[in-house]
Amino acid sequence: MSNPSLLENGVSVSRKRTALKVNGAALASLSFQGLARTFLSQGTSPLYVLNGIWPSSGPVPSKEDVIGGISAIIWSLTLLPLIKYVIVSLKFGTTEGSGGSFALYQALTRLTMADGVFTPAVSVTSAVGGIAVAKSSVENQIVPISIALLVVLFLLQQFGTGRLAFAFAPIAFVWFLLLIGTGIYNVTTYPGIFRALDPSRAILLFVRTRDYDLLAGILLALTGCEAVFANLGQFNAASIRLSFCCFVYPGLVLAYLGQGARLIVDGENVIQNAFYKSIPGSENGPLYWIVFVVAIFATFVASQALITATFSLFQQVVSMKSFPSLRMYYTSETVMGQVYIPAVNWTLMIITVIIVAVFSNLASLTNAYGFAVATVMFSTSLLLAVQMVYVKRWPLVIAVAYFLVFGFFDGLFWGAALKKVPHGAWVPLMIGLILMIFMVFWTWSKGLEDAFDGAKRQNLRHFISKEDKAPVGKVDDSQEIMEEVKEEEAVESTYYYVPTQNFSSKDEGLEIEKRELTRIPTMAVFHKFTGGRGVPHTFVGFIRQWPALPQVLVFLSVSMFPIARVAPENRYVVVKTRSLEGCYGVTYNIGFREHFDVNVNELVEVLCNLEMQYDPKNCERTIAKIKAVSSHATHIVPHYHVVSKKVDAGYLTFVVNWVRKYLIEEIYRRLTTMFPETANWMTSADEIIHVGVNATI
């Protein structure tokens, strides 16, 4: 058996993966790369935030209201993205440099799918809106142009992002430079805007106006702040902090200060489109079109990052058995996180196009976006508080204090966004509820199937019996025959039998008819979808239908660890079954971000190493046999025909059983046929045998 002491949370103690540690030029390079993947979604928010607070169709806000609004934006950026995420949340990354168990929580909270839908919809539409500022004649074409660009964006997903990734960071860098440059220039038009740095101005805004709805617009400045923690596995805490504190945060503050200054100076004109109308120079000048082009590219990159993140989240949830096994394609040979899921891509595209077409009013679109962002932020605060107590083992008072402070601010934003439900925010709420209900249903159904699989396990010794026999031959020739067997090893002296019908260990004294099993020169991997002792029900059904035993028999179970990836040397944990020659139990260890890929060559190497440790002197024959039959390896997996069992629910028995039967037999059974668990196996379909098994669950 492979030494389990080498494993600690699924990774080797001696070669444990640690968070990426770099400094100097390498740290600067990593920080530069993180501008696109981590911050560009938030970096494109100046395109629409001010008009989210003060719509173009409304009155021009007063000077004090503008200063108060900008102050609220700046201090929201300070309290939440800077303090909550950059300073606090990054401390909750694991030593492996990923989100750890929090990454699993995040997969659930962000499946609202809202980021993948609304980031492209809002940012691209806002960027395209710049055309109407310079060319008013094309104002009615903003929606068709936006839809066309979005379709192109989703069509490009199938080719992967590796070839374009080299251009992402420079685009983000140029975009933030433009925000900083235009912000500095605009601030000079009204230096008094620096009063917005006083937090009391934000408080006075709400005291004076009593307009709680303003928070729904200010919330838009925080879009994308979740990416700070989500991308910890791709970068590291130091690079993320360096990028945000030295470049992103100052750039956003200057951009909003500049827009506020221009809104005070030229309110009637700027209120029409706060971002494009505040660009220095003429509306048809070279700087205007430079900003416009870079804005289009920046929103494309920001949308790309969120769509890719959505693929990654679905990959994790499928691995957690909380969603059907959607077909996945890995678009990079080196980066496992770069995955393309066609079903998710086309669904996102359809929903995004419909939303842009229906919510032609940008205000309604941003209302929907804001609600999704607020829900994610509040969920994160709650889950971080839980982590403090149950993972970090910090005192309860710290977790409560943290949640009271940041949960209060998140709650304020969530309450403001909730009021927008009748005005567009119902869309992400509906998407989230549908996905939540479906994930709960799938987890429940899959749990019943796995419970059936575990309950039907049988001890191999109770199922297969063996007898040792001398080779058949004449008495006086027996010595010659035995020598021949010893030299050529052409005859097996052990025979295995299986009962011809079901039996119980209670049938003591009952004569049971047995059937001899023939050993065939092949290797078979029987997959157990749940852990635990005993052979899977698939093996029992297989032996009864085809009374034959492969020369090399592997019972494989999968164990998923709460880390991103497991070290290759700890991929397989193997035990040898003494009651059956050539039989092994294997645990296949994977991280929650890894795809299922049982490499037969690696498995054979592990088996051979085990035999060398088990019997160093006499292992040559066994190793030769394993290698000889490994070229004919076959994967055998169960195909459960699920049937709903009757349950007693008192007066509601009939209704409960009818609903249960419909969910299991009409929905779950059909979906498992459409989306088999082998869909994403790297193994060829020719090497997989599906054994049908009735399962009453």
Do both 57 and 132 map to the same domain?
Answer: yes
Examine the pLDDT at 339 and tell me if it is beyond 90.
Answer: no
Q: How deeply is 410 buried, as exposed, middle or buried, from its count of CB atoms within 10 A (0-12, 13-18, 19+)?
A: buried
Q: Which of 388, 419, 446 is the last residue of a domain?
A: 446
Examine the pLDDT at 96 and tell me if it is beyond 60.
Answer: no
Higher pLDDT among residues 512 and 373, named by residue: 373
Do both 442 and 565 map to the same domain?
Answer: no
What percentage of residues in the chain have a pLDDT greater than 70? 82
Examine the pLDDT at 263 and tell me if it is beyond 60.
Answer: yes
* Most confident range, picked from 354-358, 426-430, 478-482, 510-514: 354-358
Do both 422 and 473 map to the same domain?
Answer: no
Q: Is residue 568 part of a domain?
A: yes
* Most confident range, picked from 66-70, 420-424, 452-456, 650-654: 66-70
Residue 112 per-residue DSSP state: G
For 5-14, 244-253, 354-363, 440-449, which range has the lowest pLDDT when averaged over its residues?
5-14
Examine the pLDDT at 683 and tell me if it is beyond 90.
Answer: no
Do both 476 and 342 map to the same domain?
Answer: no
Do both 554 and 687 map to the same domain?
Answer: yes
Closest residue by Cα to residue 303 from 164, 427, 429: 164
pLDDT tier at 162 (50, 70, 90 boundaries)?
Answer: low
CA 467 to CA 586: how far, in whole Å?
A: 26
Could you read off the pLDDT of 101-135 as tens digits, one per residue? 444 444 444 474 566 788 888 889 888 888 888 77
pLDDT tier at 11 (50, 70, 90 boundaries)?
Answer: very low
CA 626 to CA 286: how far, in whole Å?
A: 71
Q: Which of 417, 446, 475 is the last residue of a domain?
A: 446
Q: What is the pLDDT of residue 4?
A: 37
Higher pLDDT among residues 615 and 7, named by residue: 615
- What is the CATH number for 430? 1.20.1740.10
For the entire predicted model, the pTM comes to 0.78
Q: What is the pLDDT of residue 497?
A: 79
Do both 545 and 586 map to the same domain?
Answer: yes
What percentage of residues in the chain have a pLDDT greater than 90? 31
Q: Compute the average pLDDT of residues 221-231.
A: 75
pLDDT tier at 1 (50, 70, 90 boundaries)?
Answer: very low
Q: Which of 414, 446, 478 is the last residue of a domain?
A: 446
Q: What is the pLDDT of residue 100?
A: 38
Examine the pLDDT at 12 and tell me if it is beyond 50.
Answer: no
Do both 388 and 431 map to the same domain?
Answer: yes
Asked whether the beta carbons of 279 and 182 are under 8 A apart, the reply is yes
Q: What is the pLDDT of residue 165?
A: 58
Examine the pLDDT at 283 and tell me if it is beyond 90.
Answer: no
Q: Is residue 20 part of a domain?
A: no
Q: Is residue 163 part of a domain?
A: yes
Q: Compute the average pLDDT of residues 549-564.
A: 82
Q: Which domain, by its residues, includes 618?
A: 456-696
Do both 397 and 534 map to the same domain?
Answer: no
For residue 468, the tally of other CB atoms under 10 A from its CB is 8
Q: Is residue 110 part of a domain?
A: yes
Q: Is residue 274 part of a domain?
A: yes
Number of domains in the chain: 2
pLDDT tier at 18 (50, 70, 90 boundaries)?
Answer: very low
Do both 659 and 535 map to the same domain?
Answer: yes
Our CA angle for 301, 99, 82, nearest 5°, is 65
Do both 420 and 510 map to the same domain?
Answer: no
Q: Is residue 686 part of a domain?
A: yes
Q: How far is CA 150 from CA 183, 194, 296, 354, 588, in A?
A: 29, 38, 11, 11, 40
Q: What is the pLDDT of residue 107?
A: 45
Do both 313 and 406 map to the same domain?
Answer: yes
- Helices 63-77/199-209 angle, 10° precision: 130
Q: What is the pLDDT of residue 512?
A: 60
Do both 554 and 408 map to the same domain?
Answer: no
